[in-house]
Structure 1
Amino acid sequence: MTKSKFENQEKSNHEHLVDTKMTRKYLAFSPSETVERIEDVLDFKAREFETIGYVYAIDENGILVGVVSLKQILQSKHGTQLKEIMNTNVISLKQHEHQERAVYVALKHGLKVIPVVDSEHRLLGVVTQKSILSIFHHEFRKNLFRTSGIKHVKEIESMDTPVFSLVKVRFPSLFIGMLGGLIAASIVTNFEHVLSSYIALASFIPVIVYLTDAIGTQSQTLVVRLLAIEPGFPVSRYVLREIKIGIILGFVFAAMLFVAEIVGWQQIKLGIVVGMAVFFSMIFQAFFSTYLSIALSRMKKDPAIASGPIATIISDVTTIAMYFAIAMMILQIF
Structure 2
Amino acid sequence: MSQIEQIQAALEEKNYDQLNSILEQYHPVDIAQIIEELSEDESINLFSALEFDAALQVLEEIDSHRKYFILTNVEHSYARKLIREMPVDDVADLLGDLEDQEKRRILSLLGENKQTDLIDLLAYAKNSAGGRMTTEYVAFPKEERAKDVLNKLAEMAIDAETIYYVYAVDSQGRLVGVVSLRDLILAPEETPIEDFMQTDVKKVNALQDQEEVARLIKKYGFLALPVVDDDDVLLGIVTVDDAMTVVEEETTEDILKLSGSNADERIDVGEVSPWARAKRRLPWILLAIAGEIISGRVIDDFSAALQTIVALSFFIPVLMDMGGNVGTQSAAIMVRGLATGEMNTSSIAKNVLREATVGIILGIANGFLVAAITYTWQGEMLLGVVVGLAMIFNLTLAAMLGAFIPLVWYKLGHDPAVASGPLVTSILDIVGLFVYFSTATWILKL
TM score, norm. by length of structure 1: 0.78
- The one-letter code of the counterpart of 1:314 is I
In structure 2, do the counterparts of structure 1 residues 275 and 32 end up closer, same or farther at CA, with 3 Å as the change threshold? farther
Query: Aligned pairs, how many?
Result: 323
Q: 1:47 Cα shift?
A: 1.8
Q: Distance in 2 between matches of 1:270 and 1:121?
A: 68
- Matching residue of 1:187: 298
1:98 aligns with 2:212: no
Q: Residues 108 and 190 from structure 1, CA distance in 2 versus in 1: closer, same or farther, beyond 3 angstroms?
A: farther
Q: Which has the larger radius of gyration?
A: 2
2:130 is aligned to 19
**C-alpha deviation, 1:207, in angstroms:** 2.7
1:150 and 2:261 are equivalent in the alignment: yes
DSSP-derived class of the 1:114 partner = strand
Indicate the residue corresponding to 2:355 in structure 1: 242
**One-letter amino acid of the counterpart of residue 291, structure 2:** G
AA in 2 matched with 1:214: N
Output the CA distance in 1 between the equivalents of 2:406 and 2:416. Answer: 5
| Structure 1 counterpart SS, 2:158 | helix
How far apart are the structure 2 equivalents of 1:184 and 1:91?
52
**Structure 1 equivalent of residue 330 of structure 2:** 219
Given that 1:67 and 1:88 are in contact with CA atoms closer than 8 Å, whether structure 2 keeps it comes out as yes
In the alignment, the residues of structure 2 paired with residue 117 and residue 134 of structure 1 have an alpha-carbon distance, to the nearest angstrom, of: 21
Task: Kindly report which structure 2 residues correspond to 1:109-148, keeping only aligned pairs within 5 A, or say none.
Answer: 109-118=220-229, 123-148=234-259
Closer, same or farther in 2 for the Cα pair 1:107/1:155, shift >3 Å?
Answer: closer
Give yes or no for the alignment of 1:269 onto 2:382: yes
**Contact map agreement 1:156 1:166 (CA 8 A) in 2:** no
Q: Give 1:320's aligned residue.
A: 433
CA shift, 1:183, in A, is 1.7
Whole-Å Cα distance in 2 between the matches of residues 321 and 248 of structure 1? 22
For structure 2, list consecutive stretches of 5 or more residues without a partner in the other structure.
1-121
1:45 matches 2:156: yes
Task: Pick closer, same or farther for the CA change 1:172–1:80 going to 2, 3 Å.
Answer: same
CA distance 1:179–1:43, shift in 2 (3 Å): same
Q: CA deviation at 1:53?
A: 2.9
Structure with larger RCO (C-alpha < 8 A, sep 6+): 1
Partners of 2:316 and 2:191 lie apart in 1 by 70
1:298 aligns with 2:411: yes
| Aligned counterparts, 1:274-285, within 5 A | 274-285=387-398
Unmatched runs of 5 consecutive residues or more in structure 1: 1-10
Q: Give the secondary-structure state (helix, strand or coil) at the position aligned to 2:279.
A: helix
What TM-score, normalized to structure 2? 0.61
**Alpha-carbon contact 2:214-2:247 (below 8 Å) kept:** yes
Structure 1 12/62 Cα, relative in aligned 2: closer, same or farther at 3 Å?
closer
Q: C-alpha separation between the residues in 1 aligned to 2:378 and 2:407?
A: 41
Contact 2:328 2:424 in 1 (8 A): no
Q: In structure 1, what is the Cα distance between the partners aligned to 2:289 and 2:442?
A: 29
AA in 1 matched with 2:165? Y
Root-mean-square deviation (Å): 3.5
Equivalent residue number for residue 369 of structure 2: 256
Verify the 8 A CA contact 2:409 2:416 in the aligned structure 1. Answer: yes
* 1:296 counterpart letter in structure 2: W
Q: Are 1:288 and 2:404 matched, yes or no?
A: no
Answer whether contact 2:137 2:161 (CA < 8 A) is retained.
yes
Cα shift at 1:75: 5.8
Shift of 1:303: 1.0
